[in-house]
A and B are shown apart, each in its own frame.
Chain A
Amino acid sequence: MSRFPGLGAARAGVARWVRPGAAATLAVLVVAALFPLAEGRSQSVMGLATLALTYGLVTLSLNLLMGYGGQVSVGHGGFLAVGAYTTAIVATHFTSLPFIVVLLLAGVVTGAVGFLLGLPAGRLRSHYLAVATLGFGLAMPQIALNLGITGGFTGLVTPTAAVGRFTLNSPVPLYYLALIVLAVSAVAIRSILSSPTGRRFMAVRDSEHTAPAMGINPWRTKVLLFTLSAFFCGLAGYVFAFYIGVVEPASFDFALSLFFFAAVVVGGMASIWGSLIGAALLVVVQQESLSAQAYSETILGVAVIIVLLLGPGGLAAVPRRVSGAASRARARRLEAAAEATSPHQSPAPSSAGTPREG
């Protein structure tokens, strides 16, 4: 078969990020499912695990926006607030609604807010977009502070809700709910990403200027992106409402949005597993520095800076880095050996280059 001259060989794929195969994913799921059998009795441990799963969904939604969509949000705490408040309000006023309806409502309402934010945001360049989302993240809790329906300063108590005979206000059932919502959302996002919609997001991310030539309307794409990201964050808000028990403005301070942002960057942009790693890291850092917010901020801030200086990919890219470095070292050794044994042969063409054009 004829080939384009100077074509580099297909590189044996070194995985770009942590990308466990189906088997590993299944293993993780099984462990997660069985986890309460070991730790179910400890409320604090179950609570932390639930928080990690909830944060995981938030970082996943944020990564969809930033890593896959190329946008910026420094205010995702605002979406979480909308989701949580919607949950509390709806559950309080419509006590007989099945949990799934309230859950979906939390997602849909938050998605609608995301849509509204996306309309102007889709026209903005990065700096301006960051400032706008910053304002959004701060404004949501402020609005909650001022409306009667949201309970003002004291907030709303999340009413009891039940799934079958399990009540969501106790640790283990809530954990399982969080796990299921996260798993289903991750699958859904995966599915979207490998479809024309997902490709459209990434096309706009990588080359917004040329995307229209392929029939893509960048603004509409970005509005959809914001809507979806907000939807999934809203789902997280539902779980969060039960986790915190009382939904009040103070639960959604500015630092929280920054933490989510940091978690996505450090865990790895454009990587589903990276988001989860970032969320887990966030929970650990928050817990370890419980006494002083200052320490979590410092650690996360420094982590973001280090990650940026080391190069893209975050923690999720570490395996690639390590195996990449190893295979490069191996390649060098082989080349050196080849040269040593046959000094008169020209070196084998590397796979990376075509000859420089004249």
Chain B
Amino acid sequence: MTVFVQLVVSALGFGGIYALAALGLTIIFKTSNVVNFAYGAMATVVAMLVWTAHASLGLPTALAWAVGIIGGGAMGIAVDLGLMRRVEGSPPLVSIVMTIGLLLAVEGLTGVIWGYGPKGIANVVGGRSFAIGPISVDRNDLFVAALAVVVAVALHLFYERTRLGLAVRAVAADAEVASLMGVSRKWVLAGSWAAGVAVAGAAATLAAPSLGLTPTLMDDAAVFAFAAAVLGGLGSLIGAVVGGFAVGILSDLVAGYISTNLQLTVVFALIVVVLYLRPQGLFGRAAQVRQ
């Protein structure tokens, strides 16, 4: 039993990362109905920027993070305005192809610019783990998990309680009405992309110490994040968080009880089962899914 609880607890860290990554995906999907397949690669760029700012340019951690987040946001805006706007209105297949092309291009460029050797990057929250009874809890894991929840709550409040958030939701539902409200669809979408990439970038930077900072940092994690978003229901914030932790815990249990190598497979099987039985996920809306 202790083993089980320990596994669950130590999954909090990765659960939080997947939840954050899934949140980034959800932010973009909520407004533009696009699944950004490249976001793992874009998130990695943010992590690389943070590293460059900190390790190469010697900036303090907070500033380095700011550089990364802002850079990520700028990248998101550039991609949205430069590419996604051009293929608006095309069938969904086109946006899928576009983001996959982006995935290749961005990951490739990351490799070209930064190379494949892993870079050293430290956890945001250091210090030893502390113990609660027989269970040891890592401080950083706790921080990440808490951060994920905080971000989710903040986003929820933004969408539900602020005028801008309402406007954003309006754009997603009906762009014409939104423009009558004085909201520019173009900038709402661009802003969503910026925010989505920034949040995913945070996830990547937090994951970098454990996964190793290379261009392929988010390759596997991206799949877990997709699984989380799909499980939770695309477009649902609470789904992203629940999904993220569920996937994190599940994969940790698999790693602990069966084998680390089967994590992806089990997660894949999970995606397929969920999509088959309940295509809209736990909290998603049914209308969106079936053709």
Direct contact of A and B (CB under 8 A): yes
A residues contacting B by CB (< 8 A) are 66, 70, 72, 74, 119-120, 123-128, 130-132, 134-136, 138-139, 142-143, 145-146, 208-209, 218, 254, 258-259, 261-262, 265, 292-305, 308-309
Flag if A308 contacts B265 (CB, 8 Å): no
Size of the B side of the interface (Cβ < 8 Å), in residues, is 51
Give the complex CA separation of A3 and B159 in angstroms: 58
Contacts of A123 in B (CB 8 A): 275-276, 279, 290
B residues contacting A by CB (< 8 A) are 35, 37, 83, 86-87, 91-94, 96-98, 100-112, 116, 215, 219-220, 223, 226-227, 230, 234, 259, 261-262, 264-265, 267-269, 271-272, 275-276, 279, 288-291
Of all chain B residues, the one with the shortest Cβ separation from A258 is B104
Flag if B96 contacts A72 (CB, 8 Å): yes
Flag if B275 contacts A146 (CB, 8 Å): no
Flag if A124 contacts B96 (CB, 8 Å): no
Flag if A300 contacts B111 (CB, 8 Å): no
Contacts of A146 in B (CB 8 A): 259, 261-262, 265
Contacts of B215 in A (CB 8 A): 294
A164, chain B: closest CB distance, angstroms: 40
Flag if B111 contacts A128 (CB, 8 Å): no
Contacts of B96 in A (CB 8 A): 72, 126-127, 130
Counting from the closest, the 7 A-B pairs by CB-CB distance are A294-B111, A301-B105, A301-B104, A304-B101, A298-B108, A297-B108, A135-B268
**Could you tell me the dominant secondary structure of chain A's interface residues?**
helix
Contacts of A120 in B (CB 8 A): 272, 275-276
Contacts of B102 in A (CB 8 A): 301, 305
Flag if A309 contacts B108 (CB, 8 Å): no
Extra inter-chain contacts (15) besides given A74-B37, A130-B37, CB under 8 Å: A120-B275, A125-B289, A127-B96, A128-B234, A130-B35, A130-B96, A135-B227, A136-B272, A139-B264, A294-B109, A298-B105, A304-B104, A308-B87, A308-B94, A309-B87
Give the complex CA separation of A297 and B216 in angstroms: 12
Q: A127-B234, A138-B223, A146-B261 are in contact. Are A298 and B291 (CB under 8 A)?
A: no
Flag if B108 contacts A132 (CB, 8 Å): no
Flag if B261 contacts A136 (CB, 8 Å): no
Flag if B97 contacts A293 (CB, 8 Å): no
Flag if A126 contacts B93 (CB, 8 Å): yes
Flag if B87 contacts A262 (CB, 8 Å): no
Flag if B108 contacts A294 (CB, 8 Å): yes
Contacts of A128 in B (CB 8 A): 230, 234, 275, 279, 289
Give the complex CA separation of A146 and B254 in angstroms: 13
Contacts of B91 in A (CB 8 A): 126
Flag if B265 contacts A125 (CB, 8 Å): no
Give the complex CA separation of A127 and B262 in angstroms: 24
Cβ contact of A305, chosen from B37, B83, B219, B234, cutoff 8 A: B83
Cβ contact of A134, chosen from B83, B107, B110, B223, cutoff 8 A: B223
B144, chain A: closest CB distance, angstroms: 24
Give the complex CA separation of A123 and B279 in angstroms: 9
Flag if B98 contacts A308 (CB, 8 Å): yes
Of all chain B residues, the one with the shortest Cβ separation from A152 is B261
Flag if A143 contacts B112 (CB, 8 Å): no
Contacts of B93 in A (CB 8 A): 66, 70, 72, 126
Q: A120-B272, A128-B275, A139-B269 are in contact. Are A294 and B112 (CB under 8 A)?
A: yes
Of all chain B residues, the one with the shortest Cβ separation from A140 is B265
Of all chain B residues, the one with the shortest Cβ separation from A297 is B108
Q: What are 29 contact pairs spanning A and B, CB under 8 A?
A: A74-B37, A74-B100, A119-B276, A120-B272, A123-B279, A124-B275, A124-B289, A125-B291, A126-B93, A127-B96, A128-B275, A132-B272, A134-B37, A135-B226, A139-B264, A142-B262, A142-B265, A254-B219, A258-B104, A265-B97, A292-B111, A294-B107, A294-B108, A295-B108, A296-B108, A297-B108, A298-B109, A300-B105, A301-B103
Give the complex CA separation of A153 and B150 in angstroms: 41
A339, chain B: closest CB distance, angstroms: 35
